[in-house]
Every structure is written in C-alpha cells, then in structure tokens.
Structure 1
Amino acid sequence: MNGQGLDDDGTITREGALDRVPAAFAPVVDATRAQITGTFGSARLHSAYLYGSIPRGTATPGISDLDLLPALHDEPTEADRTDAKTIETTLDHSFPQIDGVGILLVGTRTVLSDLERHDLGFFLASLCTPLLGTDLAEQLPRYRPTALLARETNGDLALALPRWRTRAAEAVTDADHKNLSRVVARRIVRTGFTLVMPRWGGWTSDLNECAELFGRYYPERIKQMRVAATTGRAPSADPTVLGMLIDDLGPWLAAEYTAVHGDKAPRP
C-alpha cells in the first residue's frame, strides 16, 4: 500500500485485518463472533464483517464503538432486525471497552446488485474486515478513487439533512445530542473527503486526515470540517455544534457535492 491508501495497481487497499485488532478489544471480537453465530446460524447467515476503528487498529478503549455488518442469505426481516438489536444491547452492556454497537444488517443479493456496486458493494469489499463465512468481496471488483465512486458513496447527503433536523428537534438529553452529533459529524467528514477524493487520487478513513485533505481544496471551510472531525471522535452535547453541521456546513456541502459529482442514483 502506498501513502494514499492504494495498491500498486492503483486500486483502493482493503482496510483493516483481524490481526490489527488491539488486545483490549480481542474479547469483544470473540464475543461478537459467538453472538452472531448463535443468533443467526448458518441457515440465515452468509458472512459477517467488522469495520471502523477496531479492525483498523486505531480504537480507543472506552471511547470507540463496535461496527458490524452481517450479510444474510435472504433480505433482512423485522425479526432479523430485532435479533440484531438484541446483539447490540448485549455486547454494549457486556464490554466497557466499547461505547455503543452498530449493526448494519444486509442481504447478499443487495450487496451484489448493480445498483449497490459502488456504494454498499464498495463498502463491504474495501472497508470491511471478514469475520465469519465466505467473503463476498470475491464477487466484487477492485475499486479506484473515481468520480463515480464519489457520487455513489456520498451523493445523497441532501436527503439526510431533513431527517437529522427532525432528530435534533426531538433530542432531549445530552446522550441524544451526543449520539446524533457522532452520526452527523462522521457522515459530513466522509462526504467532505469523497468530494475531493478524485482530485487527491487516494483513500483514507481517518477523520483527521479526511478533514485536512478536504481543507486543501476548500480552505474557507476547514475550521468547520475540523470541528466535525473532532465531534466524530468525541461527540458533543452542545446543540450549537449540531446546528452548525446540519444548518450550515451540511447544506453547503450537499450543494457543492451535487455541483461537482451529481446526484446518487435513486434507491427504490
């Protein structure tokens, strides 16, 4: 891998590996494997993946969350989603090393579909670390930092903004504000990075690096993006931070993204 997250052939290097998991999180990964296997079993589960800071080896005990992607043979049902919520709660309550658990439950047909080839397919093949089962990345292409990839990964930020505003208006506790600020900040930083990704010609998932690379091309917005990167790592209960992200930086970024890369292909 070169300094821009690419292999020698110019494709994006897959992030993460089980041997990079910090020692403090090894029991979490072992319990995760057992929970997913025991809950879904081979009849429902095709494969499962870790993503985020834990398989990248950059997780901080007590601060980092656990991110999981189980891929089912069939499309997830409400019963499957209920089971996933139970796993989230069980793991989160069992391990003080993690601050929250997020499970993205998907069906293999969706992952491998043409519509998701440069979004969910890219995410699994490039940003997820195999934990269980047969790796679906073997059926997906190698990806390059192109405008097509930029459009299909983050070209729908404008659709998220109204949902975030509704959640912000309904937020009551500090925990509500922190949970939402983490989601919003991470999405905005990654969208800012993919906006400039084809010009830079590489890939990174490090929030600080994403913000700084964005700032090379949009220096007038770098201070706001740095706040977003900080909030993505250490969520804020300050409603003014959330307001800046949702009502100022977010709308500007969504409009600029559409102007540069166009809109993401609509989903059913």
Structure 2
Amino acid sequence: MILEKVIRKITIQKEYKDFVDTYVDNILTEFKDKIHSIYMCGSIPKGTATPFKSDADFTIVCEDPHDIDYERLSKIKDKLLEEYPVVTKIDTIICSLDDILSKPNEWGFWVKIICVCVYGQDIGEQVPPIIISPTFIVDLNTDTKEEIDRIHHSLSNASDHTMQMRYIKGYSKRLLRALYSLVLEDTGVWEDDMVKMKNAILDYCKIDPALVDYLYACYLGSHIDVEEFLRVADEVYRYFENALHAMVTFRNSLS
C-alpha cells in the first residue's frame, strides 16, 4: 500500500489567511535567499482550526538549517502571537533539502505526506512513493526514543502548571502517534484525526485499552497528576518499544 497525502487541498479559513501570509513574509524578509520552501500541517491548512484554541505548525526547508537563527525566529514568533491572538502557539520545524531526499521514510514522509507547501517549490514531490512496510515503520520511528526522552525530561523538570499541561498534551500525542505507526499496515493510511487514531489503536494494537483511553484523555487536557502520567507513559512506551523491536526482528529475518 502506498501512503496518500493527509491534506490534499489547502483550505485556510479567513481568520488565519493574513496570519499565514505575514508569517511567510516575515520569514522571507528575515532570512532572504536562505529559504527553499515553507510548509504547514495540522488544522489551519485543513480548514478545521478553532480560533483562539488552535496552534500553527510550520516547517522550513533550507540548504543548511544552521543558516536559520533560532533567536531571530523566536522574535518573529513572539511578535506574531501578539498581533494574531487567534493563534495560541507557533511551532516551527527546520530541516534541510538533504534530510528530505536522503531520508524518505523520515523527513521525506513528513514533508510529502503530513505537510502542504505554502511557499516555494514543493520538495515533497521529489520524494518517491512511500510504501507501507515494516521497514518504513521502523525508519519512521528512528528518532522516537530521542523525542520521548526529551519530552519526558522537560515534563519531569517543569514546575509551572501551564507548562506541565502543555508537555503532557504533547507527550500524549507523541505516544499515540507512535502506537498508531504500529498499525499502519492494518489501516493503510496516515490518520491525523486523534479520535480516529485512537480508535484504530484500540482496534489493532494488543495494548491495554485503558492505557490508550488514559492517554487520549490527557491529550484533551484535564487535571492530571504528573507522577501518574509519567508512570502510564513509561508503560505505554515499553509496549511500543517491544512491539517495534519485534518488527525489527521480523524484518531482519526476511533479509
């Protein structure tokens, strides 16, 4: 099975059009010819964003990510959040052209399948079709442990309640995405709707359903005990790690 693009048509609501245009203009003005292309993913390009609740997710592609000064990028973000309170948070990922073309099952997947191009030439069109297979799923999770460790550390050291809840939401979403990747051969599609993602995990993963429901409730946000969440998160990650290891073993047995 070949993975299809998550967002096939950009449908930015009127509340966000000026914000997206201004973000792109600011990035191009600040970094000039260093930018190859800019992408979005999530609810804003899908046309399903909720004003004053939804985040903005951008990806910048350039020759060398070191050309993009994070401090200058952060100033652009802070200014735009003041000017456009309709957006709650702005996340920006930076990657290189080489990342995308040399790692089609990782960065190539991200740009080709998850994102849509809002400026420049869409480099995702140069990524070969992505075929769902154990090899793809293993490659897709190359950086999962590093990401999980980073979020775990940040949450463990956060003392501010607002930041704790933000980390818990992000941690829950990342774990649900990791679990969902395990069932791609069953679903045949990458799903970014969290309800559908959760239901597919419940249908196909042999994990305790209560753990999945707990993670989803944490993703939605409520009064959550950090220690309890970390305990459950560790249990879920152990399941994921064991399942991925079994997939690696099976893949190696075929080679």
Match among 197, 200, 203 for residue 190 of structure 2: 203
| Greater mean alpha carbon deviation, residues 238-247 or residues 133-142 | 238-247
Q: TM (normalized to structure 2)?
A: 0.87
Q: What is the rounded CA distance, in whole Å, between the counterparts of 1:218 and 1:235 in structure 2? A: 25
Change (3 A) 1:60 1:234: farther
CA RMSD of aligned residues (A): 2.4
Change (3 A) 1:216 1:92: same
Change (3 A) 1:71 1:159: closer
Please state how far the C-alpha of 1:38 moved relative to its aligned partner.
Answer: 1.5
Name the counterpart of 1:63.
53
Please state how far the C-alpha of 1:46 moved relative to its aligned partner.
Answer: 0.6
Q: Structure 2 counterpart of 1:117, which letter?
A: P
What CA deviation, in whole Å up to 9, does each residue of 1:174-217 have, x standing for no partner?
Answer: 12202211221111111111111112322211111111101112
What CA deviation, in whole Å up to 9, does each residue of 1:136-191 have, x standing for no partner?
Answer: 01211122332222111125433344333322221101122022112211111111
Q: How does 1:199-238 map to 2 (within 5 A)?
A: 199-218=186-205, 220-234=207-221, 238=225
Please state how far the C-alpha of 1:57 moved relative to its aligned partner.
Answer: 2.2
Name the counterpart of 2:71.
82
SS at match of 1:105: strand
Q: Which sections of structure 1, spanning at least 5 residues, go unmatched? A: 1-9, 264-268
Name the counterpart of 2:88.
99
Change (3 A) 1:86 1:17: farther
What CA deviation, in whole Å up to 9, does each residue of 1:23-43 have, x standing for no partner?
Answer: 3222221222222221222x1
Name the counterpart of 2:129.
142
Q: What is the rounded CA distance, in whole Å, between the counterparts of 1:145 and 1:207 in structure 2? A: 20
Q: What is the rounded CA distance, in whole Å, between the counterparts of 1:146 and 1:61 in structure 2? A: 38
Q: 1:12 touches 1:142 (CA, 8 Å); kept in 2? A: yes
Q: 1:47 touches 1:134 (CA, 8 Å); kept in 2? A: yes
Name the counterpart of 1:47.
37
Q: How does 1:170-185 map to 2 (within 5 A)?
A: 170-185=157-172
- The answer on 1:21 being equivalent to 2:8 is no
Q: Which sections of structure 2, spanning at least 5 residues, go unmatched? A: 251-255
Change (3 A) 1:249 1:117: same
Match among 17, 21, 24 for residue 33 of structure 1: 24
Q: Figure out how many residues of one structure are paired with residues of the other and give that number.
A: 250
Q: What is the rounded CA distance, in whole Å, between the counterparts of 1:145 and 1:198 in structure 2? A: 6
Change (3 A) 1:198 1:18: closer
Q: 1:24 touches 1:97 (CA, 8 Å); kept in 2? A: yes
Q: TM (normalized to structure 1)?
A: 0.83
Change (3 A) 1:77 1:109: same
